[in-house]
Amino acid sequence: MLILNKRHYKTKKAITLVELVVAMALIAIFAVACVSLILPISTIYTHHNELAKAQLIADNVASSLRGACTGNNIECAGDVWITSNGYELVGENDSISSLPSGEVLVIRKSPEYCISIGSNYEITGELYNAVKTSEATDDSTDSAETGSGGLYSRAIYRMFNSADPAADQVASGIGRVHYGYFSSGTNVDSFVFPNGYYDFTDPLTNTAYGKYTVDLSFSDLTYDVDTGAPAYVKCLITVNNDQGVAYTRTIALHLS
């Protein structure tokens, strides 16, 4: 009888409160350890993902800039120069001075036209209307209205949803690479300068940037020792996100 009671007593054993508290404490310790391992890994993954996207944008911008800097009509030192103005330099033929560094590069593309490369201004309805007015009064234009619905033929018009945008309407903002095309003149110091609006375009679409913006800085314009004509220029490409600088890259642009 005593033996039966002993066996019956042993079958009633269970987890005590102390054991339960210890088990929960161990689980909590292991959980904290796992989180402390996962969080840095997630941060590293996010950083590398952001860096890869920024590098891709910089690569695309660099490839576009190299293409834009070919096929030029460079004969003298003033055919390429650096400034910090975007499109405000139109007609400013008397105040041209090439800066050691700046956000805009001006290049003569042909005897009649030049290009400005920069990302420090917006493409607005004001520029739309300036190009529209210039095309309408251009004697070399066979037909002012060449598109459907009375739209003109220039690339800037396709950047707007309206054929008559408000002056402050923005089609492409600061932080997007813009190419401005101008009819050109030559001042008394033999500098090519934008003399009239011709067109504006973006080499990359807005979706290519995503949440990133791009800053361009040109410097170290170097000249050919034999001809004295500009040979190449350095360009610093800075890709930014909402936390600051995400990636930088310096390239040499050959002015051929």
Q: Could you tell me the pTM of the whole model?
A: 0.78
Residue 102 lies in a domain: yes
Query: In terms of C-beta density within 10 A (0-12 exposed, 13-18 middle, 19 or more buried), how is residue 27 classed?
Result: exposed
Q: Is residue 218 part of a domain?
A: yes
Residue 57 lies in a domain: no
Tell me, what's the pLDDT at 149?
38
SS3 255: coil
- Whether 33 is covered by a domain: the verdict is no
How many domains, in total, are found in the chain? 1
Distance of CA 48 to CAs 51, 54, 63, 79, 256, Å? 5, 10, 22, 41, 36
Q: Enumerate residues 6+ apart whose C-beta is below 8 A from 222.
A: 230, 231, 232, 233
DSSP state of 221: E
Smallest CA-to-CA distance from 55 within 239, 204, 220 is with: 239
The alpha-helical segments, DSSP class H, found in 69-169 are 125-136
68 belongs to a structural domain: no
Domain presence at residue 203: yes
Say if 237 falls within a structural domain. Answer: yes
218: nearest Cα among 115, 84, 95, 110: 84
Per-residue pLDDT 10s for the chain (256 aa) are 445 555 555 555 667 877 788 888 888 888 877 777 777 776 776 778 888 999 999 999 999 999 999 999 998 888 999 988 766 666 655 566 678 899 999 999 998 899 999 999 999 999 999 999 888 876 544 444 444 334 457 899 999 988 889 999 999 999 999 999 998 877 656 788 888 899 999 999 988 999 999 999 999 999 999 888 999 999 999 999 998 999 999 999 999 7
Tokens (6 digits) for 156 = 């800037």
Give me the sign of the Cα torsion angle 161, 165, 168, 172: positive
Q: Is residue 3 in a domain? A: no
List the structure tokens of 88: 């405000």
Long-range contacts of 217-223 (CB under 8 A, 24+ apart): 217/101, 217/102, 217/103, 218/82, 218/101, 218/102, 218/103, 218/104, 218/105, 219/82, 219/100, 219/101, 219/102, 220/101, 221/80, 221/81, 221/82, 221/98, 223/77
Could you list the residue range(s) of the whole structural domain that residue 175 is in?
Answer: 94-254
Is 240 within 8 Å of 217 (Cβ atoms)? no
Question: What's the rounded Cα separation, in Å, for the pair 194 and 184?
Answer: 5
219 token code pair: 């410097």
- Find, among 99, 114, 155, 103, the residue nearest to 131 by Cα: 155
d(CA 107, CA 130): 21
250, 237 Cβ separation under 8 angstroms: yes
Residue 179 CA to residue 197 CA, distance in Å, equals 12
Q: Which pLDDT belongs to residue 13?
A: 64
